[in-house]
Every structure is written in C-alpha cells, then in structure tokens.
Amino acid sequence: MAKSPEEEHPRKAFGWAARDTSGVLSPFKFSRRATGDKDVTYRVLYCGICHSDLHMLKNDWGNTAYPLVPGHEIVGVVTEVGSKVENFKVGDKVGVGCMVGACHSCNNCANNLENYCPKSILTYGFKYHDGTITYGGYSDIMVADEHFVIRIPDNLPLDACAPLLCSGITVYSPMKFYGLDKPGMQVGVVGLGGLGHVAVKFAKAMGAKVTVISTSPKKKKEALESLGADSFLVSSDQDEMQAAQGKLDGIIDTVSAMHPLVPLIGLLKLNGKLVLVGAPEKPLELPVFPLIMGRKTVAGSLIGGIKETQEMIDFAAKHNITSDIEVIPMDYVNTAMQRLQKADVKYRFVIDIGNTLKSNS
C-alpha cells in the first residue's frame, strides 16, 4: 500500500537518549510522524522524571530497546491538530502520560481501562501501530492520538502538574477503585517520595484521615506540617506500629524497594486493603495467615485509564493539587538520575524542556 504524503514526510525532532545500559543520556536527533487525522502535535514545555525512567535507562526490567528517549509526564501547548480531531485546538494546554496506544476493541478498552489492555502501547520504548519504536518526552515535540491526550486546566501550572500524569493517576485510581475516597476513611500511605507525597494530597482532598508510614523519622515534620497528614508512623518502631494495629481502612504502598508486608497488614482493620503501586525488583514475602484472620486484601494497581486520568487532573485542578518539584535544565539530567538513584529529590524532578533543550547541544 502506498504511503500517504503525511507518512512520507516525518517531522524532525530533537531530544536526549540513552544508547546502552550505562543509562547515560546525550543529545539525539530523530523523527516524529507527521500529524495524522486524529493526532495532536504539541510543543513540549516540561517533562517529569519518573523512577521508572531510571529502570528503563539501565534495562533493569530486561525490555529496554535502545536508543531510548524516556519521559511519560509530558506537558506543553498544542501547535497542530489533525482534520478529524474533535476535542483539542491550537493553543490548548495538554499532556500525555504513560500510554499512547491500545487496541480499542477488548473488554478493558471498552470499559475505559486502556491501561490493562493486553496490547497497550507505552509512551516510550514500545512498538507503535506502524512498527516504529515510541520516543518519550525528553524531546522538543510530541505527537499523539487525541484519545491519549489529556487537557490541562488553566489553573494548574504546567511544570508542577506534569508528574501527576504518572504519579497522580497511580495513587488516585486505587483510592477510587478500592473505596478509599470517602470522607472519614482512615488511609495509610507507605513511603513519602514522588508517589507518596501526592497520595497524601489526594487522600486529604477526598476527606480521609491520613497516616504516613515511613522508615525515616526525619520525614515526620514534612508529612504533618507541610503535607497535612494526620499522623506519622516510623515503620521500624515496634511500639508505634503495635499501637496503630487495626486502625486503617486501606493502605497505598508506594515503596519500590524490598520491605516487609506483614507489619503493614497488621495496621489494617477487618476487610482492610493493602494496595501495592510500587514495583520492587524481587518478590515480596506474603504469609497467608495474617490475611485470613482479618479477611484482608493485598492488591495491585497500574496507573489508570484515559478517562480516569482526565478525571484525576480535573480533581487536582479543583483542589489545587500539584507535585512538589525541582525544575532542572536538560543538560542536568544525568546528574538528576544519579540523585534520583539515591532518593535525593523532593519530590520530583521536572525538566524545563521549553527553555533549556537546545538542538545544538
């Protein structure tokens, strides 16, 4: 089949990519497809750095395709729309999160759960419908099917809302699905990092009483005074943990490192739910007895569908929820990755693509 004129004239793009498992990023020229009938093209202004970017750069999960342009917290301003685009126009503030494609024909897609589509296409490092490998947001322009584009409300700052496209929906979706979004619920948040600090903000906005559970006593003041949590537990303090037994309706566990689950399960009420959204590289130990004694649930959750992601962003705008960020220039990205490896960020790096990505770097 002959290619259309659009397919024959891809758009020049520029970003930073890793070429091998060293994970070191450097300037990279590549092509984006021209704007298709249902595509939205936008100038990237900011892109958040997710911990999964670090894993993908180093091929920690064994599925990285190089060269890799990371980034799935990508916000900017629309510069062009296809002839069949219905919901966006030039000048709109938009974003793309973790997905850019799905089959649109399975039951999950039919129920607005594209994130669980067996053929979902991630924003970078995955094969797209046309056979090309997707490139992420550490780049100057983005082209995406309008179905996967999120409208950013005007009152949300683009830099501080970018991480919500991953971290925000990652914690919002399980709170909604597992019924932890009702006023007065007792909700625990394990880990006070990029995911955890946003989880506290969403849970508080939903009317929950929030308990932060952390290995670091140093984070107590931040949790209680800055983020508005109601209580704080040091997970290694057996007296504190014992005193809080059976108090929580649910827990959002954001930790990606190895950690014991049994002490967390003990904090749950009857029918309580421990929801894992972090992704430790090795299996966690899960004894059954603590579960059956309290009819408790250990569950997982993976981001959210596009409809729910838009709902999350609108909720964030209504309640003035943003991520706490450190804005960095593009050429600082390798240092940022080193700091992220050591959890030396409060709480999310965001790259100022619009002002610092230079095509002659």
pLDDT digits 0-9 by tens, 155-185? 999 999 999 999 999 999 999 999 999 999 9
pTM of this prediction? Answer: 0.94
Q: Is 155 exposed, middle or buried (0-12, 13-18, 19+ CB in 10 A)?
A: exposed
Lowest-confidence segment of 102-106, 121-125, 357-361 by average pLDDT: 357-361
Is 4 a residue whose pLDDT tops 50?
no
pLDDT digits 0-9 by tens, 325-352? 999 999 999 999 999 999 899 999 999 9
Q: What is the pLDDT of residue 278?
A: 93
Residues 6+ apart with CB under 8 A from 3: none
Q: What is the pLDDT of residue 121?
A: 97
Q: What is the pLDDT of residue 7?
A: 47
pLDDT band at 3 (very low <50, low <70, confident <90, very high): very low
pLDDT digits 0-9 by tens, 298-316? 999 999 999 999 999 999 9
pLDDT digits 0-9 by tens, 209-255? 999 999 999 999 999 999 999 999 999 999 999 999 999 999 999 99
Q: What is the pLDDT of residue 8?
A: 52
Q: What is the pLDDT of residue 5?
A: 39
Is 360 a residue whose pLDDT tops 80?
no
pLDDT band at 281 (very low <50, low <70, confident <90, very high): confident
pLDDT band at 6 (very low <50, low <70, confident <90, very high): very low
pLDDT digits 0-9 by tens, 44-87? 999 999 999 999 999 988 899 999 999 999 999 999 999 999 99
pLDDT digits 0-9 by tens, 129-160? 999 999 999 999 999 999 999 999 999 999 99
Q: What is the pLDDT of residue 2?
A: 36
Provide the percentage of residues in the chain whose pLDDT is more than 90.
93
